[in-house]
Amino acid sequence: MSLFRKFVGKILNQPEVDDENDLVKLGDQLKHADLDYKFAQLFTHSGGFFNYCQDEAEALQVLNQILKLEDIQSVFCCDEDLKNFLDVVKVPYDKSLESFHDAAFITCEYLIAYDGRLMLSHNNILHYHSSRLPDKIIIMANVSQIVTNLGDAMMKVKRRGTLKNLTSISGSHSKLDHTGKDNTKLFLLLLED
């Protein structure tokens, strides 16, 4: 909850409402909505920046805008396909994560509609702990990666059998391994399959 809302709530003698409870209430309101719409609403409600892209050309334009608006000069990127995007926009990147990186440009395993989280694995962030990622994270994913809940995601992970070091992140902070980083900006470029 924002400091301003807490302060105003105390002045007006209103009970404090937890952001997590707000998220649960919104999730309940959206229980019959399409998965993609539900995910987008919950992801943005938790502080993420959602960008729907019809194709890779539009994703490239949105990526370029994010890089310029956020003044990103150096990027951690370990995905070969994503490196092609960075080559086009001419932003330097490294496969190893360094403290001087302004942002991370990564993929994810699944988008969880239940609470707007994104599941990451070793495939997305290598051996690095999610708390070491820069304060700006740009994720590219496809609509087909949206699953109903964490159970569905874990079932798919189990079937694949090759994923390790699973974690999840959401809007402004990590849900599973919260590190106290509240200033993280999470940008999602969601591509139509």
**Residue located via tokens 């900006």:** 185
Q: Are 141 and 189 in contact (CB under 8 A)?
A: yes
The H-or-E segment that residue 106 falls in is: strand 103-107
Structural domains in the chain (count): 1
Q: Is the pLDDT of residue 106 over 60?
A: yes
70: domain CATH number is: 3.40.50.10420
How confident is residue 165, by pLDDT bands cut at 50, 70 and 90? confident
The answer to whether 37 touches 30, Cβ cutoff 8 Å, is: yes
Which range of residues forms the domain containing residue 160? 33-191
Q: What is the pLDDT of residue 175?
A: 43
* Average of per-residue pLDDT across 49-55: 95
Is 99 contained in some domain? yes
